[in-house]
Amino acid sequence: MAALRSALLYLRRTPSVAQMVDLPDRQSAFIDWYLAVVEAAELTDKRYGVKGLNVWTPYGFLARRNLDAVMVREIEATGSKPVEFPTLIPANEFAKEKEHIKGFDAEVYWVTKGGVSDLDVPLVLRPTSETAIYPVFAIWVRSHKDLPLNVYQIVNVFRYETKTTRPFLRIREIHFFEEHTCQATEDDATARVRSNLEAFRRMAEAFVLPYVATRRPDWDKFPGAFYSIAFDTPIGGARTLQIGSVHHYRENFAGPYGIQYEAPDGSQRLVHQTTFGLSERLLGAIIAVHGDSKGVVFPSSIAPYEVVIVPIPHAEAGPAILRAAEEVDEALRRAGRRVHLDAREDRPGAKYYYWELRGVPLRLEIGRRESESRTATAVDRLGHRGRVSFDTAGADVTERLREFDRALAERAMAGFRDAFSVAQALSELAGSDHVRILSWCGREECGHQVENAIAGALLGVPEDGLPWEAGAPGPCVACGETQGVRWALAGRPI
């Protein structure tokens, strides 16, 4: 009877830990797998009353905060300063740059009333902040001494998304990083674009995300831009995910917004501008690229908890084991690690499952043997086992996490290299299960033929070389032209 009662108590106490989730197969049903993983790992709650507006749960919010910290660290290292502009943009400011408004018109939310009165000037909920920021840049920038002006903000933006929404990937309220800069000359702006590409390379290294940067074809550039460079990561098959972009605006916005400065020779000149945009899509990409049949796999830089400690109950040694777990927890906290001691009453196996699903990089198991030898058993999220001494826990865990990140990077790079293959002809593009590398003459009509053939997009010409060596490009896959051909990438963006 006592055993039955304790078994019943156990079941009542631990509904969440013991709950097993059947994840769909990642290869054959990727989107179903992605949605199931995001939900099971409790990274977001999509049960909010408006479609495409999701709730950041505590666990998801911690991951987001770590993501933001990397972006802030790397952009501030380039001299960019934080700002925050208002969420609402007056309709007349929003409408000033013709291409821009054409590109965003169908996606904006309007605020037309203040209380019960109609507003004299309707307001737009920012879909991106050029038109909020540039009227103020026109006031801030007076002289060449005010340049360069490099500022960024991390704010929420709103886009009325009409396609199927997906957590972190396609949503209507977006957690958005945007840098806006003013430079004296076109060359200075080009240099800022290069600096942003380098900053993103360092961010992606922290996220352990392999990607390729391509210059988007003209018909796919940011509305109002001179050119756009976007970062894509392959996520299986021919599918790609755009995870960020950098844009050169030349004087396209400076003209309509009157952002000009007095040059050293006394003349008035328009500034050249750039922007750099990233979003919570990066979190979606980290889940999509690293996740597996057990769930999420977080690189240590993003993991809400880098380490989880699981005490293994024992009839006599129980209190000593718990004390040992608390000692290691304390030591790791002091060493600056994000650590969580899971002291819930439950089977260790259920806890392993729970934290593997949530992507914690490193698990420390402490049972009787570990407590007596003052050495925890360490198992990382990729299944590598090792040991962590209680007395050098901080240094040992740092080393284990470094090894874990290295192994995760290797696995991701192997997947990245395998994601691409060369296509010699348009006929090879239909039903492609790779992101294709192909020869393109640069003409728009050939680009569209490629897009039709792959039922996706011509991503553009790689900015810093191909993901791997492919020799010299042959004739254009669409028209057979050999003059001016270059390698381009084509895939199916989701």
Least distance from Zn ion to the Cβ atom of residue 448, Å: 10
Sole binder of Zn ion in the list 193, 364, 450, 476 (CB under 5 A): 476
- Which range in 122-130, 245-253, 359-367, 445-453 contacts Zn ion by CB under 5 A? 445-453
282 binds Zn ion (CB under 5 A): no
Instruction: Give whichever of 125 and 476 is closer to Zn ion, judged by the CB atom.
Output: 476
Least distance from Zn ion to the Cβ atom of residue 488, Å: 10
In the chain, the amino acid numbered 181 is T
Instruction: Give whichever of 38 and 478 is closer to Zn ion, judged by the CB atom.
Output: 478
CA 363 vs CA 139, 340, 404: distances in Å: 54, 10, 12
191 binds Zn ion (CB under 5 A): no
CA 196 vs CA 12, 251, 276: distances in Å: 53, 19, 7
- Which range in 243-251, 297-305, 387-395, 437-445 contacts Zn ion by CB under 5 A? 437-445
Least distance from Zn ion to the Cβ atom of residue 234, Å: 24
- Which range in 92-100, 106-114, 387-395, 473-481 contacts Zn ion by CB under 5 A? 473-481
490 binds Zn ion (CB under 5 A): no
429 binds Zn ion (CB under 5 A): no
- Distance between CA atoms of 93 and 49, rounded to whole angstroms? 31
208 binds Zn ion (CB under 5 A): no
Sole binder of Zn ion in the list 123, 362, 459, 478 (CB under 5 A): 478
Instruction: Give whichever of 182 and 441 is closer to Zn ion, judged by the CB atom.
Output: 441
Instruction: Give whichever of 244 and 447 is closer to Zn ion, judged by the CB atom.
Output: 447
461 binds Zn ion (CB under 5 A): no
Instruction: Give whichever of 138 and 479 is closer to Zn ion, judged by the CB atom.
Output: 479
Q: Which residues between 130 and 149 bind Zn ion (CB under 5 A)?
A: none
- Which range in 164-172, 184-192, 211-219, 481-489 contacts Zn ion by CB under 5 A? 481-489
Least distance from Zn ion to the Cβ atom of residue 461, Å: 13
332 binds Zn ion (CB under 5 A): no
- Can you give 226-287 as a three-state secondary structure string? CEEEEEEEECCCCEEEEEEEEEEEECCCHHHHCCEEECCCCCEEECEEEEEEEECHHHHHHH
Instruction: Give whichever of 317 and 479 is closer to Zn ion, judged by the CB atom.
Output: 479
235 binds Zn ion (CB under 5 A): no
Task: Identify the CA nearest to 237 among candidates 493, 466, 408, 450.
Answer: 493
Instruction: Give whichever of 31 and 425 is closer to Zn ion, judged by the CB atom.
Output: 425
Q: How many residues bind Zn ion (CB under 5 A)?
A: 7
Instruction: Give whichever of 62 and 479 is closer to Zn ion, judged by the CB atom.
Output: 479
Sole binder of Zn ion in the list 41, 184, 189, 441 (CB under 5 A): 441
- Distance between CA atoms of 227 and 306, rounded to whole angstroms? 39
Q: Which residues between 369 and 398 bind Zn ion (CB under 5 A)?
A: none
307 binds Zn ion (CB under 5 A): no
Least distance from Zn ion to the Cβ atom of residue 240, Å: 22
Are 123 and 89 spatial neighbours (Cβ–Cβ below 8 Å)?
Answer: yes
479 binds Zn ion (CB under 5 A): yes
- Distance between CA atoms of 11 and 466, rounded to whole angstroms? 54
Are 286 and 302 spatial neighbours (Cβ–Cβ below 8 Å)?
Answer: yes
- Which range in 24-32, 272-280, 431-439, 479-487 contacts Zn ion by CB under 5 A? 479-487
Instruction: Give whichever of 155 and 479 is closer to Zn ion, judged by the CB atom.
Output: 479
- Distance between CA atoms of 444 and 433, rounded to whole angstroms? 24
Least distance from Zn ion to the Cβ atom of residue 428, Å: 16
426 binds Zn ion (CB under 5 A): no
- Which range in 66-74, 270-278, 374-382, 471-479 contacts Zn ion by CB under 5 A? 471-479
- Which range in 87-95, 126-134, 426-434, 476-484 contacts Zn ion by CB under 5 A? 476-484
Least distance from Zn ion to the Cβ atom of residue 485, Å: 8
169 binds Zn ion (CB under 5 A): no
Sole binder of Zn ion in the list 37, 193, 401, 446 (CB under 5 A): 446
241 binds Zn ion (CB under 5 A): no
317 binds Zn ion (CB under 5 A): no
Q: Which residues bind Zn ion (CB under 5 A)?
A: 441, 443, 446, 476, 478-479, 481
